Amino acid sequence: MSNTTLSKSKPIKVQKNKRFNPSMYLAYTFLIIVSGVWLIPVIFGITTSFRSQTEVVNEGFRLLPVNWIVDNYIAILENTSSAPILQWIWNSIFISTTHTLLVIVVISITGYGYTRMNFKGRDVLFFTLLAISFFPNVVNLIPSYKIIDTLGWVNTPWAMIVPGLAGMGNIFLVRQFMKGIPKELDESARVDGASDFVIFFRIILPLIKPVLIVCGLFSFVGSWNDFLWPVIVYTDVQKMPVTAGLLLLQDVYGNYRMIGQLMGSAILAIIPTLLLFLFAQKYFVQAIKLNAGIKG
C-alpha cells in the first residue's frame, strides 16, 4: 500500500470513530439478545429444580422460586431403582474416561505407524481406510449391534468403549500433526541405534501432546453425549449411561407431575461436561479449529 493512499484514508477513519457507530450497537444488541435466549433454558431449568411442584403449578410462570427448596434433589438421590441418576453419571464417567484413554493410546501408536515408519503400501493403506470410513455409518448400525451382541457386550460398558476406537478421524488429525515434526529428529536417533519404541516414547509422544489432548476432549464429549447407540445397546436401567437414562425420565416422573425432579436430574446430568469445559476451554476452541482442518 502506498503512502498516498494511506494519508488519504486517515481523515476518513478519524471521522468514522467520532461519528455514532451504528454497526457496533447493532452487533452488541444482536449478541446480547442471542446470549439471553441461549441462557434462558438453563436458568429456567435450574430455578425450576429448586421449586416445589405445588409452587410450579399454582404460581405459574416465574423466573425465580418463591421458596427455594432442595427436596427435589433429595428425592432424586433417593430414587436409586427407577431413575438412579448418580449411577448413570458414574457409568458415563467410567465409559467416557476409559474410551478417551484408549483412544489416545490407539491414535498415537497408529499415527506413528502411518507417519514415521516406512513400509510398503503405507499411504495406500491409510487412504483406503480413510475412504471406507467416509461411508455413512447408518449402514453399519444394525450389524454393529449384532457384533456387540455376539461378543456378549450388550449392557456392558464395552459396547460404548470399544467400537469408537476404530474411527479414522482422530488418526487423520494426529497424522497431519506428526507430519509437521522434522524427520531429522527421529532419523538421527535411528542412526544412534534407537528402536521405534524408544523413538515413539522419547521423541514423538511428548511432541504430539497438544493434538492428543484435543482429540481426547472431543472423544470424551462425543462419548458422553452419544444418544442413538446407547439407546440401542442398553436395556438394563442400572447399566446405562446418563444420556440413555434421561430418556426414561419422562415416564418415571409422570410427564411433568414431578417437574422439579425432572429438571434437577437434567441439571445434574449437565454438570460433569460443564466442569470439564470450564477447565479446558482453550483446548475446546483449538479442537474445533483443528477438527475443521482450518488454521486460525
Partner 1 sequence: MKKINFSPIFFVGPHIVLFLVFILLPTIFGIYASFTKWNLVGDPVWVGLDNYRTILFNEDSTFYHQFYNGMKNTFLFVLISVPLMIIIPLLIAVALEHKEVKFKNLFQTLLYIPGLISISAASLIWSLIFNKQLGVVNNLFGSEAVWASTQPYAWITIIAITIWAGIGGNMIIYRASINGVSPDLYESAEIDGAGSFRKFLNITLPSIRFPLIFTLVMTTAGSFNVFAQPLMMTSGGPQQSTTVLMMYIRDLAFSHGQSIAGMASAMAVMLGLVILVISAIQYYLMNRNAV
Q: How far apart are CA 226 and CA 231, in angstroms?
A: 9
Radius of gyration, CA atoms only, the chain:
26
What is the closest distance, in whole angstroms, from the C-beta atom of residue 126 to partner 1 in the complex?
A: 8
- Chosen residue from 72, 91, 219, 243 binding partner 1 by CB under 8 A: 243
Site membership for partner 1, residue 250 (CB under 8 A):
yes
- 246: contact with partner 1 by CB under 8 A: yes
For partner 1, the binding residue among 84, 110, 161, 204 (CB under 8 A) is 110
Tell the smallest beta-carbon distance from residue 243 to partner 1 (Å): 4
CB of 278: closest distance to partner 1 in angstroms? 9
Amino acid residing at 124: V
Measured from the CB atom, is 48 or 91 closer to partner 1?
Answer: 48
C-alpha cell at 94: 467410567
Q: How far is the CB of 207 from partner 1 (least distance, A)?
A: 17
User: What 3-state class would DSSP assign to 273?
Assistant: helix
Q: Do the beta carbons of residue 84 and residue 288 sit within 8 Å?
A: no
Subset of 160-219 contacting partner 1 (CB under 8 A): 162-163, 165-168, 171, 195-197, 200
Amino acid at 48: T
| 234 backbone dihedrals φ, ψ, rounded to 5° | -120, 125
Is 74 or 117 the residue whose CB approaches partner 1 more closely? 117
Contacting residue, 152, 247, 254, 257, with partner 1 by CB under 8 A: 247
Q: Does 77 bind partner 1 (CB under 8 A)?
A: no
Answer yes or no: are the C-beta atoms of 203 and 186 closer than 8 Å.
Answer: yes
By CB under 8 A, name the one of 15, 133, 189, 212 that touches partner 1.
Answer: 133
Backbone angles phi, psi at 153, to 5 degrees: -100, 0
Stretch that binds partner 1, among 71-79, 179-187, 206-214, 247-255 (CB under 8 A): 247-255
User: Which of 12/64 has CB closer to partner 1?
Assistant: 12
**Cα separation of 86 and 77, whole Å?**
7
b/e per residue, 2-27, with b = 16+ CB within 10 A? eeeeeeeeeeeeeeeeeeeeeeeeee
Q: What is the spatial distance between Cα 133 and Cα 163, in angstroms, rounded to a whole number?
A: 13
Q: Is 136 in the site for partner 1 (CB under 8 A)?
A: yes
How near is the Cβ of 10 to partner 1 at its closest, in Å?
Answer: 10
| Residues in Cβ contact with 225 at an 8 Å cutoff, skipping those fewer than 6 apart | 243, 273
Window 5-34: residues binding partner 1 (CB under 8 A): 5, 8-9, 12-13, 21, 23-24, 26-28, 30-31, 34
- Per rule CB under 8 A, is residue 106 in the interface with partner 1? yes
234 binds partner 1 (CB under 8 A): no
Q: Does 40 bind partner 1 (CB under 8 A)?
A: yes
List the one residue out of 259, 239, 100 whose CA is nearest residue 159: 239
